[in-house]
């Protein structure tokens, strides 16, 4: 196995932000008119698989019907049917949402996009079209083999394009090329008007486009809030590197006391603060696992002639060499398509934050305390420090709905376990960890914000957010007003909603 295999990344019982998987794409039965065959109910052999495609085992939905769609017209019909019947509807692309936005018992109709996987060049729009049900891996493969370009998006090839892009879309190439939404030219969305009628709308980034606000809302406003995205168009896509150096480093917890831990984390943050705009071809995720997992780990990718030199420089700056190091050079596409092992069966809770400055000494001490608590049942826990900045920060905060354009690192907090009986203790662990990291600002990252791609409904709960700052501001910063206006205009009946939908008022 390569250095990014699941066994290397999940030492023990954790999953990480860079290691997400989904079920396989689904083949549907075609009807005589070329559409897909009606609705799938609980008595259909396909229902159990489709209803269970959600990634987080904490949640299980029981929709009355699942509509497996094959075209935009199918989506329009499905939405019209749900609205007329007064049924709450949700949409699933790759199925990787960490919260119950689709697997909610209140959702009665699920529109499943996994059969809409087209990736092609659209000469009429002079842009590359990617349907919302395509996985990142399939988009990478087709775009690169067909035209030698790529979308600078997530590391995990089985994540669906639909929700990933709407959240902003970032991954190993973001420091060099920016976010996926920085290349988004247009989006096709099925929306519902005030009369309850569904229709498709194409919105572009053109300043003269009367629908431009709908395009903008899908550049970081999150999925499932404005309508059903059926396809994206991208322009001026960059070329990926021909080859990348993938690496995995480990620091054993054995003998790693608090001063040594603090030195590693502090030096890592300071390095990225100094080099936020340098070394754009160097990407890392520093996984601070709980002690029970045996080691801290850094995984990442580097490219270019000086890739190994930059990695060596970074390791030297940390002040303590790793106890193990593996690396390999591969063609970029081979690395991009190298998916992790199956991760089904995990129950999870995640949280997030950005960092404009390195973690403070009190925060590092807090992290050490929570990662070393003596509870043998809490094994699958971690916080990952993912490199950010570079080209991402060259875009104005209001140019897209992705407001956080001044960070050097992105934080991903995780608790993962398998047994329902362990829900309470794992939820308590991660909630207290997060609250204590931001103890000075009401338990949430008021100054740096959070990432809607890692949704956390606790931010909307005053028991865990006592800052007085609304969850929407934490996620969307100064772009909240624009998202509210888009919500009022494009979903006036609030057909598409979940716990973290941008508020219309």
Q: Phi first, then psi: what are they for 135, rounded to 5°?
A: -85, 160
| Cβ proximity of 191 and 457 under 8 Å | no
Is residue 279's pLDDT more than 90?
yes
pLDDT single digits (tens) 27-79: 333 333 444 557 999 999 999 999 999 999 999 999 999 999 999 999 999 99
Evaluate whether residue 192 is within a structural domain: yes
User: Helix 423-437 to helix 361-371 angle, to the nearest 10 degrees?
Assistant: 170
Give the pair of three-digit tokens for residue 100: 């119950």
Residue 329 binned pLDDT confidence (cut-offs 50, 70, 90):
very high
Is residue 23's pLDDT more than 60?
no
Query: What CATH code is carried by the domain that includes residue 118?
Result: 3.30.465.10
Evaluate whether residue 481 is within a structural domain: no
Collapsing DSSP to helix, strand or coil, 138 comes out as: helix
CA distances, 230 to each of 25, 111, 223, 489 (Å): 16, 11, 12, 19
Evaluate whether residue 12 is within a structural domain: no
Q: Give the whole-angstrom CA distance, residue 162 versus residue 400.
A: 17
The verdict on 248 and 236 lying in the same domain is: no
| Cα within 13 Å of Cα(148), Cβ side | 3
Determine the structural domain holding residue 344 and report its residue range: 243-476
The verdict on 220 and 289 lying in the same domain is: no
Give the pair of three-digit tokens for residue 479: 């772009």
| Cβ proximity of 196 and 145 under 8 Å | no
Q: Give the whole-angstrom CA distance, residue 116 versus residue 114.
A: 6
pLDDT single digits (tens) 349-380: 999 999 999 999 999 999 999 999 999 889 89
Q: What is the pTM of this model?
A: 0.92
The verdict on 323 and 222 lying in the same domain is: no
Q: Give the whole-angstrom CA distance, residue 189 versus residue 203.
A: 8
**Percent of the chain whose predicted confidence (pLDDT) is above 70:** 91
Is residue 82's pLDDT more than 70?
yes
* DSSP secondary structure string for all residues of 153-165: --S-TTSBHHHHH
Give the pair of three-digit tokens for residue 105: 């018992």
Give the pair of three-digit tokens for residue 185: 């030219």
CA distances, 425 to each of 349, 369, 420, 451 (Å): 12, 16, 10, 25
pLDDT single digits (tens) 89-128: 999 999 999 999 999 999 999 999 999 999 999 999 999 9
The verdict on 232 and 273 lying in the same domain is: no
Q: Give the whole-angstrom CA distance, residue 29 versus residue 246.
A: 40
pLDDT single digits (tens) 183-192: 999 999 999 9
Residue 340 binned pLDDT confidence (cut-offs 50, 70, 90):
low
């Amino acid at each position: 196995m390569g250095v990014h295999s699941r066994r290397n990344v999940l030492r023990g019982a954790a999953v990480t932000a860079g290691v997400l998987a989904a079920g396989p794409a689904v083949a549907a039965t075609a009807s005589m008119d070329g559409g897909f065959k009606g609705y799938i109910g609980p008595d259909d052999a396909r229902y159990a698989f489709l209803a269970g495609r959600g990634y987080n085992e904490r949640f299980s939905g029981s929709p009355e019907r699942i509509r497996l769609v094959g075209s935009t017209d199918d989506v329009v019909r499905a939405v019209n049917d749900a609205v007329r019947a007064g049924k709450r509807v949700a949409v699933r692309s790759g199925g990787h949402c960490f919260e119950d936005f689709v697997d909610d018992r209140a959702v009665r109709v699920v529109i499943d996009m996994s059969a809409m996987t087209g990736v092609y060049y659209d000469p009429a729009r002079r842009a590359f079209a990617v349907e919302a049900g395509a996985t990142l891996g399939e988009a990478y493969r087709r775009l690169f083999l067909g035209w030698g370009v790529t979308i600078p998006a997530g590391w995990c090839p089985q994540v669906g394009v639909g929700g990933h892009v709407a959240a902003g879309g970032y991954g190993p190439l973001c420091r060099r090329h920016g976010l996926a939404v920085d290349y988004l030219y247009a989006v096709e969305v099925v929306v519902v008007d005030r009369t309850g009628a569904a229709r498709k709308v194409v919105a572009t980034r053109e300043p003269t486009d009367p629908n431009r606000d709908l395009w903008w809302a899908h550049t970081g406003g999150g999925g499932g809030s404005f309508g059903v995205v059926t396809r994206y168009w991208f322009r001026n896509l960059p070329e990926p590197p021909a080859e990348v150096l993938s690496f995995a480093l480990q620091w054993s917890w054995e003998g790693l006391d608090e001063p040594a831990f603090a030195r590693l984390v502090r030096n890592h943050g300071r390095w990225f603060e100094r080099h936020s705009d340098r070394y754009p071809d160097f990407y890392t995720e520093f996984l601070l696992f709980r002690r029970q997992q045996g080691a801290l780990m850094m995984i990442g990718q580097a490219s270019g002639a000086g890739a190994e030199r930059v990695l060596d420089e970074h390791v030297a700056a940390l002040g303590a060499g790793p106890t193990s190091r593996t690396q390999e050079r591969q063609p970029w596409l081979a690395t991009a398509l190298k998916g992790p092992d199956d991760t089904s069966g995990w129950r999870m809770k995640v949280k997030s934050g950005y960092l404009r400055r390195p973690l403070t000494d009190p925060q590092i001490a807090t992290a050490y305390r929570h990662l070393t608590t003596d509870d043998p049942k809490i094994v699958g826990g971690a916080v990952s420090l993912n490199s950010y900045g570079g080209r991402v920060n060259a875009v104005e905060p209001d140019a897209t709905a992705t407001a956080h354009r001044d960070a050097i690192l992105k934080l991903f907090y995780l608790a993962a376990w398998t047994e329902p009986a362990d829900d309470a203790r794992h939820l308590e662990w991660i909630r207290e960890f997060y609250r204590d990291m931001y103890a000075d600002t009401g338990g949430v990252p008021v100054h740096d914000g959070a990432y809607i791609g890692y949704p956390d409904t606790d931010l909307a709960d005053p028991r865990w957010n006592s800052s007085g700052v609304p969850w929407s501001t934490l996620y969307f910063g100064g772009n909240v007003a624009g998202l509210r206006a888009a919500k009022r205009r494009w979903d006036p009946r609030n057909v598409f909603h979940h716990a973290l939908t941008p508020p219309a008022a």
